[in-house]
Structure 1
Amino acid sequence: FTIEPTEQTLSLYVIYECHHIEPRSVDSYLSGICSELEPFYPNVRKIRSSNLVSRTLRGGKRLYSQPVKRKRALTSDDINLAFERLHCSTKYDDLLFLTQLLTGFYALMRLGELVWPDRHDLRSFTKVSRRTTVLLTTHSFEFTLRTHKSDRQFSGDSVLVHDDSLAGPRVVELFKTYLALRDSAFPCRAELWLRHDGSIPTRSWFIRQLRTMFLDDPLVCGHSMRAGGATALALAGVSGSLIQ
């Protein structure tokens, strides 16, 4: 039999994959296959775009796709609950977690911008926010994200939280309280976010704190902060272009 790709062989491949993986992923598989085969079979992308292959893929999605499982965005009530439970705590790590949670929620930060990855090979000090970048005023605080995945120019971004925004004065005061404790415990350390033992908080540590706070809700994850903050801004009437 011929090994040259045809509409029939790609269509059969689509049906086979739809029985074993999520059909929405088959699109990506086909793109990868076309990239590998194109130097040898220049017409493979035309075959991929044929009616037979496209309709087979569409039918596979209708027959075998599973509902998308989305994580729950945190609400303002969730943030108020966390604040009421932890803002009077005498434990250093409780204050650290609460400060990161509120900062991430109101500044629309990704979890990876606040903590270190669990995998050691993914950790880099070039992504760690520094204490020296913090700017405090009576009504706001600001610090710099040195690099992150959307920073194509490697110039860093400033995170600014003001007390006349949706966040209110409690977030600014909370950050100042955490900063005073951090400076007292670790006056010579460069990292902004530090746990009570001097280690940089990791993703698994933050998720454990998050699950403890929200009673092991499986729909709450690290992205819930950013999604919840964006939703809160939209409900407050902020335009979509500004939220982005």
Structure 2
Amino acid sequence: MEHLVHARAVALGHALDRSTQISYSSHLQSYLTFCKIHNFPIEPTADTLSFYTVFMCHHIKPDSVDSYLSGICNQLEHLYPNVRTIRKAPLVTRTLAGCKRLLNTPPCRKQPLALEHLARLLNHFPPSSHDNLLFRSILLSGFFALHRLGELTWPDKVELRSWRKVIKRASVSFYTGAYGYVLPTSKSDATFQSATIIIEEGENDSIQPLTTFKEYLRSRDHIFPFHSALWITTSGAVPTRAWFLAKLRTVFPTSSNIGGHSLRSGGATHFAIVGWPDDRIQALGRWSSDAFKIYIRKHPVVLQALLNNRVVQQL
């Protein structure tokens, strides 16, 4: 029994990803601070949660308050088992709906990268050093495989890093005119079932993912033949998000509205423009069906490209 209790405690501790746990703890702290400021009891009620919703919506985006409430429910559920029922009470849900109508602002999304952006970056970072080869390879792999930047780099916060999420050198395979590797996990794969990523050589003479990847791999295997990770900087460390963005911003500063998510949205836009159906883009990007529909609906550039393609095919 003692062993079972211990094993169950370990399993419960890993029910959420580390980054989610930290976010939920932060959400709980904001709720506790709110209760302390206003002399409310900590035990959740419909009144307390609705007041908290109004208070937070005047400090952060109302859409974010929804996730804050979810985090509070997760953290307090073991103390107050009915907290999720209270969270769904009409007073709370209607208060949040009203705040979204009154206080929501238009979303500010990153501009998708285009082929001309890739060419500009490749010209700025010629294959003259190992770090340049690494950046070039991550750039093209992220674009043509619709990667989230977090799948190719480590988080900036040390406590969020996990070797289980690092792509391994041993997983690399080559095919006729393509290369691939195993992605250990993704945002939609919380149980580490993994996915095999295959990237074909591009049709653009100046943008060749396979050639770029082979150049990087030769440099990597020469310098770090025994390192397990696929992506390695000159210092021998897995590249971080900040490392990649620092290089990206030497060409496209923050004011250009191009960032880490530009890889994923840019790749989706590119494949929509060249004629891929949305279900194929969905499979390549490893989206769940509902998430992909929301992505298409909320990104007019991708939606317009898909619509234009379908019109051309019908003609």
Are the counterparts in 1 of residues 202 and 209 from structure 2 also a CA contact under 8 Å? no
Rounded to whole Å, the distance in 2 between the matches of 1:190 and 1:42 is 43
Q: Residue 112 of structure 2 corresponds to which residue in structure 1?
A: 73
Rounded to whole Å, the distance in 1 between the matches of 2:72 and 2:168 is 43
SS of the aligned residue for 2:208 comes to helix
SS of the aligned residue for 2:182 comes to strand
Q: Report sequence identity in percent.
A: 42
SS of the aligned residue for 1:129 comes to coil
Are the counterparts in 1 of residues 118 and 207 from structure 2 also a CA contact under 8 Å? no
Query: Which consecutive unaligned segments of at least 5 residues does structure 1 have?
Result: none
Q: Deviations over 1:104-128 (max 9, x none)?
A: 0001111111111122222222111
Are the counterparts in 2 of residues 146 and 155 from structure 1 also a CA contact under 8 Å? yes
Deviation at 1:10?
Answer: 6.3
Match of 1:25 among 33, 53, 64: 64
Rounded to whole Å, the distance in 1 between the matches of 2:242 and 2:46 is 46
SS of the aligned residue for 1:187 comes to coil
Instruction: Give the letter for the 1:49 counterpart.
Output: P
Instruction: Give the letter for the 1:239 counterpart.
Output: P
Rounded to whole Å, the distance in 2 between the matches of 1:226 and 1:42 is 34
Structure with bigger gyration radius: 1
Deviation at 1:34?
Answer: 7.1
Matches within 5 A, 1:29-48: 29=68, 39=81, 44=86, 48=89
More helix by share: 2
Q: Relative to structure 1, is the Cα distance of residues 45 and 136 closer, same or farther in structure 2, using a 3 angstrom cutoff? A: closer
Q: Deviations over 1:163-204 (max 9, x none)?
A: 267899711111111111111112222221111122211111
Instruction: Give the letter for the 2:198 counterpart.
Output: L
Match of 1:49 among 90, 101, 108: 90
Match of 1:240 among 278, 282, 292: 278
Instruction: Give the letter for the 2:123 counterpart.
Output: E
Q: Residue 82 of structure 1 corresponds to which residue in structure 2?
A: 121
SS of the aligned residue for 1:193 comes to coil
Query: Which consecutive unaligned segments of at least 5 residues does structure 2 have?
Result: 1-40, 283-315
Matches within 5 A, 1:138-177: 138-163=176-201, 170-177=208-215
Q: Which deviates more, 55-64 or 9-18?
A: 9-18
Q: TM-score, normalised by structure 1?
A: 0.81
Q: Does 1:133 align with 2:171?
A: yes
Q: Does 1:206 align with 2:244?
A: yes
Q: Residue 101 of structure 1 corresponds to which residue in structure 2?
A: 139
Are the counterparts in 2 of residues 23 and 61 from structure 1 also a CA contact under 8 Å? yes
Give aligned pairs, total.
Answer: 239
